[in-house]
Chain A
Amino acid sequence: MSSLNPVHSSPPDRAPRATDEFAAGASVWRDGIERRDFLKLMGASLLLAGLPACTRRPPDALVSRADPPGADAIPELQWYATAVPWHGYARGALVRIARGRPILLEGNPDHPESRGALDAVSQAMILSLYDPERSGSPRQRDAAADWDAFTAAWSAQHTAMSERRGARLAILTEPTTSPTLIREIHALLEEWPEARWFQHSAMPEYERNGSVDVDLSQADVLFTIGSDLFYQHPSAIRHVADFTRRRAATVDKHSGLRMHALEATPTLTGMRADRRLAVAPDRQAAVLNSLTTFFRGEPQTTGLSSRESEFVRRLAGDVRKTHAVAVCVVGEEMPAEIQSWANAFNAQFGATALRTRPILRSDSDPACHGGLAEFLDALASAEVAIVLGANPAYASPRAAATTEALKKVPFTVHAGESADETAGASIWHLPEAHFLESWSDLRAYSGEATILQPATRPLHEGRSLAEIVHFLRTGAWQSAYELVRTTWRSFLGSAFEMEWNRALQRGVLAAPTARPDSKSPDFPWPVLAGRAPATGLVVLIRADLNLHDGRWANNAWLQELPRPFTALTWENAVLMAATDARERGLKSGDLVACQAGDAGIEGPVWILPGQAPGCVTVHLGGGRARAGHVGLARGFNAYALQDPVSPWTRAGGSVRATGRRQEFASTQRHFQMEGRDLVREIRPGQTLRSVDAAQPTLLPAWPREGYAWAMSIDLDACFGCNACIVACQAENNIPVVGRDQVIREREMHWIRVDRYFTGEAENARLVHQPVPCMQCENAPCELVCPVGATVHSSEGLNDMVYNRCVGTRYCANNCPYKVRRFNFLDYRMPADSLPYLGANPVVSIRERGVMEKCTYCVQRIDAGRSAAERAGRRVRDGEIQTACQQACPVGAIVFGDLSDPASNVSRRRRDPRSYALLEELGTRPRTTYLARVNREPPGGEGA
């Protein structure tokens, strides 16, 4: 498959046409039909899907193309290597293209920061491509305009600008690693030396730790301080993968990589720790100081609670084991002094697990003149202000000031993917092209570069930032393709074309050699000023796990993706420890006014186990003032609480009940296991009863002819990142139902991640359990369906036949795992809607009144089996991957053929940790689990 050029794709024309049903259109005759015809078919199919087959359908058209199908014939499937931008960093990805439409983002196995996996947010970017409310054409003073108008308007400015060598021009961008964009910006600054360039990002400063990078595959002890290294970090996938591999190697021993976490508010990372200590920020300094004395061998200072000193004792014990390599990772939201403490820690115990990485993001670019504050100062005297990509009018503690300042500037331009708050404050808004529809380039956190190639012709008139910057400088448009090639011609030098092609095919280019930054090599142990216990509550402000700084607010998949700790969708909450809530007589759902300094927000309280007493946590990304109807005004805007000086922590907060309540759109209502044996936990080396041990039953064993598909999910690996949910949603055309329907408990995700809190409230641990369809061999659902719409396949799949279902919902009642989903209302995306273009053409879209559920991605199984049959061989192990399996960063999910004893899944089923969920019911599930391992050495109460 050549990946030299973007896909030849015709602009979408979605006028539905009376025609045959969906599946025929989707599968029977694709050849020679232009993509738009195909889309028409798909569109019309939905219109007809609701009708019973009692109309005599007119015969519809077959098409003879004018030209023979040549190079541009549309194959069933293509993969293009590209990368998903993650706050300026590249996350390597393959985009899966079905019949010419990008439908799925998968990890790029060759990419060091993705390793074939992809996180939930990055996968959801495919939906943003088709977001109908993504900015499509330039706007002037919030009225529709076009590029010619802007070109004209700028050419006037351009001459003046050239004369005064860029004086009174202020440009604000987000920090980026894109060589082309940086090159263009530098070129502009060279041509106009008077121009000022500023950068702003509302996300934590991931470059704070300079060139220091940890390599967990070398560490024996990991100590995280308020860090979400495994989820909210540019190289999260690499780290969690390394971590899990180290852990998996030693499931049967107490040795191996041990982990300790010190944090105030729970993170997915902290919850993976063997021991986790949740204390408010003002206690953390004390804990760390006492650790320092430990390491210095000085006498222990007192003043620690029993839990704290226990934590210190055990951590110090692990660190001082002979030859133990211990690394400490500090969250970017933590104060700088704690980072310096960590540097000392790493210098002493972790040297061998530290790597130096090239600093490639433009944060500390010498040509840059500062951040948002400096930008605002510059605006006072500026005549032309240009904001590229960033949205400071919403995503910053200075939002209001920014809006004011921008309004005062005579000529303001905003370029971004949506006409957001900043666009509202600017005169001109230019649509930025989605990364899947234009050329660009980015570098990974670890330095490897990726050339981003478009997967489809632009759906709108968007243009890449590099193009825009180039135009601003030269006044002439040059295609992003040319700009990127110009950049890389200089890098790749001779044999450019060949290198270029390989780069596009592999999606990775080697990193430049890293130079350690010139910090002093020895790090003294700093004595941390134990902050005086704050009066009132400490308010912790954090980037949202799904919406980050709010930029994804209009992405319905991310809005409806259950937040890891609360299962909350469509809104944020004030997270609070049970003790604090009790003191103030608050219950979950009470609307409270949360004050910090003069700022305040109003939001519902959510009592969160594992939250340290004395602090509340609010997440950014809510309360958008200008967004599409998906993201508009969801939840509250936590930027209001941010203090420009220390944006992530704010002392002296208070919470006051308003007397009103709010109903939560949460996909899970009950977080206790009620003493049921659902998520099992064993000690290293312990053995569980075999899954395939005969259950007492009167039913005959299910015949296993040919393939016997099965799945195994490793609960010791799963850390609850939700990647599987989004992957499934994209692969299987799973609809979004909206907040009201979630409140009514009608969400449609085929795989859900059940979450249970164990242990006492403050130090509670969170265990995760992904639950897809169990594909029971004795499936209770099949017995009760009156029309045989769900029946067993010869390969052990529990087939769900949508077009036979009449919707009695008996199967859903009788499913002990409650994995069946029902279309209570018409949840289908409209046939003429843009997101519909991203639908997977080989998966039927379910109409109202029909049951649906996980199919083990039967469409992938069919494709794989057919391919194997045509080649006259059996399907190889690992050849067929389910969507959830493919996305999982830690390889928790394994799918394969049970009748092949050598297959990965068979081996897992024989694993001593293997067990079946609710096996006492005798359903004989094909989906089984591997129990969690509690590595806490005996004696210590379970961490």
Chain B
Amino acid sequence: MSALISLNPMQTTNASGLFTTNTAGYTQGDAQDDPAVKFYLAGGILSTSATTPLWGGVPIQEFSALRQNGQGTLSANLQPGTDTLGSTILQATGSANPTGIAVYNQAYGGITTPQSTAPLFSPGMSVNFYRFGSRARIPLILDPASISIDGQLISTTVYYNYTNNWITTTQPGSQSAIPVQVLAVSTSGNKTVSYNSGTNTANWIYNQYVALCLI
């Protein structure tokens, strides 16, 4: 497992899955357009301690912007102006509570290849995110066993399962709730990100449930 982008150019790929009856659905990590929320879109830099690339629609931790050390003989020096890339971002974990959600909006630096069609961000790349409280509406993968959340009070407590990377109503261990409200559920026509740690690629898949989360 590496946080660097992998490449396998000899693999022939094709455009399967482009025939659908309906296109109604959500795309993971692409927040719904909203002029009132647009200006809360924040940017940071993916931490060099990340162990995998980052993609959109996953909870992240934000650490305030820090000046960086130089290289070589200057490695002890905090160099001026090196905190302008914004906060340092790491993917949240079950034991590291999230502060926001990474999104694909305006994040044009994400890298795709024919073998990895969902954009990925490696350490040092700028990543975009919305903080909790920004009132952004972000599609996140929903645990299929939690489909009963459809039609429930939007303030129903939900958790984030960091093993399966989805929103769930089942509390993983003693993990605290994730501060989002599920506004809608879509069970078909969605595009979600499937990350493969073996090949270090992320591809769009079309068979998962999505919860539209107000954060």
**Are A and B subunits of one complex?**
no
